[in-house]
Amino acid sequence: MNALFLALAVAAAQATGPEAPALPPLTLEQALELARQNPQLAQAQASVMQARGQVGIARSGFLPAGSAGGKAGWTASNLGASPSSVLYDTYSASITLSQTLWDFGRTLGAYLAARDQERAARAGVDAAWNAVELNVRTAYYTVLATEALVAVADQTVASNQRQLDLARGQFEVGQRPRFDVTTADVNLQQSLISQITARDGVILTRIALSQAVGQDVSRRTLLLPAVPQDIDLDVSRLMAEALSARPDLRAAELQISAADQGLSAARSAWYPILGASASYLWNNSRYPVAGGLPAPDSNSWNILGTLTWPFLNGGADMGRVDVQSGVLASSRASRDLLLLQIRTDVEQAVTTVNEARARRAVARKLVGQAKENLELAEARYQAGLGAIIDVTTSQTSYTSAQAQEVKAAFDLAGAWAQLQYAIGR
């Protein structure tokens, strides 16, 4: 049986032993579904909510503004032929409406900038999910790899125990020196230390998986997912897919558009604002006017056109233009850096896939050869024809070959996950 799958089978059998909790296995797809509740995604979605609010604020500039007010009280008057301190009722109310008709792009630029910021935030949610998905896949594969290494360590301990029993038995009948027993015992103790380290690695990687998923899955048995064998490794095609699918690149382009619209809105501050306003005043005051006669009701209304030109504000508008120009330049530079990073991600992922494939093929052959060497060394030692050092060397080579096969197999799975992230799938 292939050493990797044998190791995974042993690890699965241990995980489902009598002391293991009765929990269903956790597939990679289920882990990804659980990760939908990861706080990192909630944070990205909160950014969308904030950006949506900014769109509403910017859109309000297209709509009329209105206000209403009223006053009520008493007024004393000393006017007329007979001044007195009599209090007279005073009531009034007003309503005012105003509408900006044309502001040379202030409102439109602010709205378009806010809209693109919201779209960028939505793309940011997709980018956050891609990052969470990569973390979950990587952590899932790492747990499986460490569990397989535990199984390899268990096999090594069992093999070294058999070698110790054989050396002790042959020593007791006078066929082997005491040196063989002590050497076999040292090998056993070293393999026990490696076993402890491997089991500790499982605990640590399961903690990392729980963090990536966003909830505790440390007691769930994991199942080995299938990794595609026919992976497209053409860099030009992968780059074309990445440029069209990467959500972080889409967000960067929208950030540039938002900064450009913000710059247009800042420049429009140099031009006047045309508007219109209408108001109505209702007055029901009873205090007397000149001559001592009661004041008549004085209701009024008006409709006005307005022209406002803030031509002098101490250079604040020019400063805002400079700020937005810097934001635009920074956004473009960030996009260019991201393009370089995307190419690096794709090329590195392709290289890692090729390298892991090659290592896996060599490691499989190496495991077969190392196993055969160990069997021959053990047979020669049992027959009294070989030395204990030959068995020790062969056992070390076999353990190393198994670990290399495990590492190569899961490095290939991790490289495939990294490639999916690099091209935005």
220-240: pLDDT as tens digits: 888 888 777 777 788 889 999
Instruction: Please give the model's pTM, rounded to 2 decimal places.
Output: 0.77
Q: Each residue of 322-371: pLDDT tens digit? A: 999 999 999 999 999 999 999 999 999 999 888 888 888 888 888 888 88
Give the residue among 220, 235, 200, 244 at the shortest CA–CA distance from 140: 220
CA atoms within 13 A on the CB side of 190: 12
CA atoms within 13 A on the CB side of 404: 20
Q: Which residues contact 24 (CB under 8 A, 6 or more apart)?
A: 220
Alpha-carbon distance of 291 to 81, in angstroms, equals 7
Q: Which residues contact 344 (CB under 8 A, 6 or more apart)?
A: none
Least confident of 175-179, 292-296, 365-369, 383-387: 292-296
In sign, the C-alpha dihedral spanning 157, 163, 169, 171 is negative
Alpha-carbon distance of 307 to 303, in angstroms, equals 14
Q: Which residues contact 39 (CB under 8 A, 6 or more apart)?
A: 214
Asked whether the beta carbons of 249 and 423 are under 8 A apart, the reply is no
Phi, psi of 165 (to 5 degrees): -60, -40
Q: How many helices (H) and strands (E) does the chain have?
A: 9, 4
- Amino acid sitting at position 287: Y
User: Computed over its alpha carbons, how large is the radius of gyration of the chain?
Assistant: 39
Q: What is the pLDDT of residue 5?
A: 44
Structure confidence at residue 48 as a pLDDT band (50, 70, 90): very high
Q: Which residues contact 333 (CB under 8 A, 6 or more apart)?
A: none
Alpha-carbon distance of 419 to 344, in angstroms, equals 11
Q: Each residue of 120-143: pLDDT tens digit? A: 999 999 999 999 999 999 999 999
Q: Are strands 87-102 and 300-308 parallel, antiparallel or unpaired?
A: unpaired
3-state helix vs strand vs coil in the chain, percent to 5: 70, 10, 20
Q: Which residues contact 58 (CB under 8 A, 6 or more apart)?
A: 107, 110, 111, 113, 114, 115
Give the residue among 411, 395, 414, 420 at the shortest CA–CA distance from 361: 411
Q: What is the pLDDT of residue 323?
A: 92
- Amino acid sitting at position 37: Q
Asked whether the beta carbons of 156 and 395 are under 8 A apart, the reply is yes
Q: Strand, helix or coil at 125?
A: helix
